Amino acid sequence: MNKSLQEVLLVDDNEADNFLHRAVLEDMAIAERITERLNGQEALDYLLTPDEQGRYPSPDLICLDINMPVMSGWEFLDAYEQLPAERRRGVVVMMLTTSLNPEDAELARKRSTIGAFSNKPLTASKVLQLIEEHFPERG
């Protein structure tokens, strides 16, 4: 697959999960850039920091863990949803979790910001399904 996404942001405190998810994405050659942050606060700080030209990062896809120290995935979403709509436009948030709590899946369904909810690990088939559903013009 050609690199259909400019950037994927991996937000997970588990470095082994980040390593595996990066490997899946790199094997698929799906993104120009893959960025990793270890908790919601680091991810939020990243999104709020402009580059030298004053442009803010705008990943196409954010893969977000739920249970993290410092700032959880839910807390990240609360803060992320306060960003201006134009900064969030076109961004798909995929919650990836090991949580077996059915309430997490139900909460995710109720949040329009969340485009996909899945159990870890991220797999090529999950990525392809996400691309087909949310980025059909790029698949």
Q: Sketch out the chain's domains with CATH numbers.
A: 5-138 (3.40.50.2300)
pLDDT tens column, 48-100: 999 999 999 999 999 999 999 999 999 999 999 999 999 999 999 999 998 88
Of the CA atoms within 13 Å of residue 130, those in its CB half-sphere come to: 26
Distance CA 37, CA 44 (A): 9
pLDDT tens column, 6-51: 999 999 999 999 999 999 999 999 999 999 999 999 999 999 999 9
C-beta separation of 5 from 32 below 8 A:
yes
Distance CA 74, CA 72 (A): 5
Whole-prediction pTM: 0.95
